[in-house]
Amino acid sequence: MTVVASRYPGAAILVVDDEAAIRDALRMILEYEGYRVLEASSGEDALSVLSRAHAEAALLDVRMKGMSGLEALERIRALHPALPVLMVSGHGTIETAVSALRLGAQDFLEKPLERDVVLARIAGLLERAHLREEAASQRRDEEDRYRLVGDSPAMLRVRELIARAGPAQATVLITGESGTGKELVARAIHRVSSRADAPFIKVNCAAIPDDLIESELFGHEKGSFTGATARQKGRFARAHGGTILLDEIGDMSLRTQAKVLRALQEGEIEPLGSGAPVRVDVRVIAATNKDLRTEIAAGRFREDLYYRLSVLPIPIPPLRERREDIPQLVQQLAQRVVEDNNFRPRRFSPAALAALAARPWPGNVRELSNVIERALILAPGETVELDDLPGADPTAAAPSGSWLGAPTLREFKERSERDYLLARLEENGWNITRTAQAIGTPRSNLYKRLEHHGLVRLAGARAREGA
């Protein structure tokens, strides 16, 4: 039993019993194994102790003078919901045990207490609490790693669509260029759905050979094909009750598309080599960087599957259309690199940020992440300067000096957007319609932004000069 103590050295255990002899006996058992013991002689005393000290677990007697153990348990669960409680009774009945478990107790013991049983149950409580905390920590880390960043109008629209799509059960089709964050959007939808506690399974359709993708998606029976030496559960079955992301679905073969369509229509799959269909409850999210309408016209994608998938379409804007989000993205990506590599924290200079915001980013956020990581690895100083950026031209700091020295992030965004619009207007001969088409925004929206920055009159004057 010494292994238990070494695994959780100094863990504090609260012993609650109105009999001093029992408290003394439990204290001796627990302290001998390395635990730290807190004592309380009543339910009221237990609540008082917990208000002053932290405990990793509690042993709580059912029958005590004054407040009963079950009443104390109810109060403890309300005030300290994460505290694992082991109920102890000298007159144990099934009814009492069921009541205790319904009120939130993790386990139930009958007196007389045996040393080894007490230690084993305490070890089990601590282990389960540790696993729950570890799982919660992993979920928090995952949520942070897959967090959507940006407050630009384009990203606010994406967030609005996520909030609407999440509670629904309909299929979602996420479209956008490679590297824009389609998987992040899919995970965000899953997190705000009723399936958040169920599995999220990702399938990269482009990375799995055609002769294996059906097996990966739907599973197979032993001996169903050469090399099938054991039964395999498919991704759809593993995602039962949760969400499956079919990434790069535009690369899926027509044969597999037909089976995915059946899974969507009938709610069932058929593993290879099995003559019996299997019911599955899965929410499907698909993502692609291809224009599926073009693929349909070319005969490479099923039109009926397209309409099944695109019940809730969510287009993701490329990075060049939300440049105002780049400072926040740089901060998040840099923090991730620092944590993953145990680097010392470093900041990016205003000139470096301005240059990053001015780049075209054909690879979108994935390309930005690559640049940030290389810059943090290669930069010699505490600040990443302009000439530390991969491919940077130190003589061409930024399109406009007005970006540099912006006092706040909001001011930086305002100046960078103004300079960006000026540059694109110049490229398109100060024609507002052509500029709106070039940057992928409605003409009315561009006009509003130009009006916001006081550029409407200037654009009109330049257009007349050009004419």
In a shared domain, residues 169 and 309: yes
Q: What is the pLDDT of residues 214-250, one digit of tens each?
A: 889 998 888 777 777 888 889 999 999 999 999 999 9
CATH code: domain of residue 374: 1.10.8.60
Q: Is residue 283 located within the same domain as residue 305? A: yes
Range of the domain at 127: 2-140
239 within domain boundaries = yes
- Same domain membership, residue 394 and residue 250: no
Sort 3 into a burial class: Cβ within 10 Å, 0-12 / 13-18 / 19+: exposed
Tell me 277's DSSP state: -
The DSSP element (H or E) to which 247 belongs, if any, is strand 243-247
pLDDT-flagged residues of the chain (< 70) = 1-7, 9, 91-94, 135-146, 392-412, 457-467
How far is Cα 64 from Cα 359, in angstroms, rounded to an integer?
A: 71
Residues 268 and 365 in one domain: no
Q: Three-class SS string for 306-371?
A: HHHHCCEEEECCCHHHCHHHHHHHHHHHHHHHHHHHCCCCCEECHHHHHHHHHCCCCCHHHHHHHH
Asked if residue 374 and residue 294 are part of one domain, the reply reads no
Task: Please list the residues that pair with 15 across neighbouring strands.
Answer: 39, 59
Residue 26: closest CA among 132, 103, 129, 113? 113
Q: Is residue 428 part of a domain?
A: no
Q: Output the domain CATH number for residue 91.
A: 3.40.50.2300
Number of domains, the chain: 3
Identify whether residues 176 and 230 lie together within a single domain.
yes
CB within 8 A of 187, min separation 6: which ones?
146, 200, 245
- Does residue 300 lie in a domain region? yes
Q: Are residues 332 and 356 in the same domain?
A: yes
Same domain, 161 and 264: yes
Predicted structure pTM score:
0.62
Please report the pLDDT score of residue 464 as a whole number.
61
- Burial (CB < 10 A; 0-12, 13-18, 19+), residue 396, is exposed
Same domain flag for 131 and 12: yes
Q: Is residue 409 assigned to a domain?
A: no
Say which residues have a Cβ less than 8 Å from residue 329's Cβ, sequence separation at least 6: 149, 150, 319, 365, 368
Is residue 440 assigned to a domain? no
Final residue of a domain: which of 293, 317, 341?
A: 317
Residue 418 lies in a domain: no
Residue 378 confidence (pLDDT) = 87
Give pLDDT, residue 376: 92
**H/E element holding 109?**
strand 107-110
Both 115 and 234 in one domain: the answer is no
User: Alpha-carbon distance 441 to 455, whole Å?
Assistant: 17
Same domain flag for 312 and 349? no
Category of 37 on φ-ψ map: left (φ > 0), alpha (ψ -120 to 50) or beta: beta
